[in-house]
Amino acid sequence: MAKIPAAKSEPEERFALAWKVLGGPRLEREYQFAPPRKWRFDFARPIEKIAVEIDGGIHEGAGRGRHLRQDGYEKDLEKLNTAALLGWRCLRLSPGMIQPALLQRIILEIQRSL
């Protein structure tokens, strides 16, 4: 079995732990979805084409968070638009959204689609 890459951020680690504790279905970390592009989802279920992106850095302000700087934001849009055109459903969560009630709702919806 391939080694699972470590999460890149504390919010990703919190998400992974909460997801496991809540009994969420298996997710692949750092899944590359559009070869030869290097785009990766933080977490994904490739068979169902469901992805979860944890948008960190939003609390740091426009000067520091990659997702809020124009170039980074536009690259995120390009990535997510390409994913949508390829049939992916992508859920985006801020660190503050990593809460049991919301994650349980997401887990339930994913389980319904299996």
Q: How many domains does the chain have?
A: 1
Question: Phi-psi bin for 24: left (phi > 0), alpha (psi -120 to 50), beta?
Answer: beta
Task: Give pLDDT, residue 1.
Answer: 47
Domain assignment present for residue 94? The answer is yes
Domain harbouring 16, CATH code: 3.40.960.10
Q: Is 4 helix (H, G, I), strand (E, B) or coil?
A: coil
Domain assignment present for residue 79? The answer is yes
Domain assignment present for residue 66? The answer is yes
Report the alpha-carbon distance of residue 52 to residue 36 in Å, rounded.
21
Q: Which residues form the domain of 80?
A: 10-113
- Cβ pair 94, 58 in contact under 8 A: yes
Domain assignment present for residue 76? The answer is yes
Q: Is 5 helix (H, G, I), strand (E, B) or coil?
A: coil
- Cβ pair 104, 112 in contact under 8 A: no
pLDDT tens for the 114 residues of the chain, in order: 445 555 578 999 999 999 999 999 999 999 999 999 999 999 999 999 999 999 976 555 545 555 566 788 899 999 999 999 999 999 999 999 999 999 999 999 999 988
Domain assignment present for residue 1? The answer is no
Domain assignment present for residue 47? The answer is yes
Domain assignment present for residue 4? The answer is no
Domain assignment present for residue 70? The answer is yes
Task: Give pLDDT, residue 5.
Answer: 56
Q: What is the pTM of this model?
A: 0.82
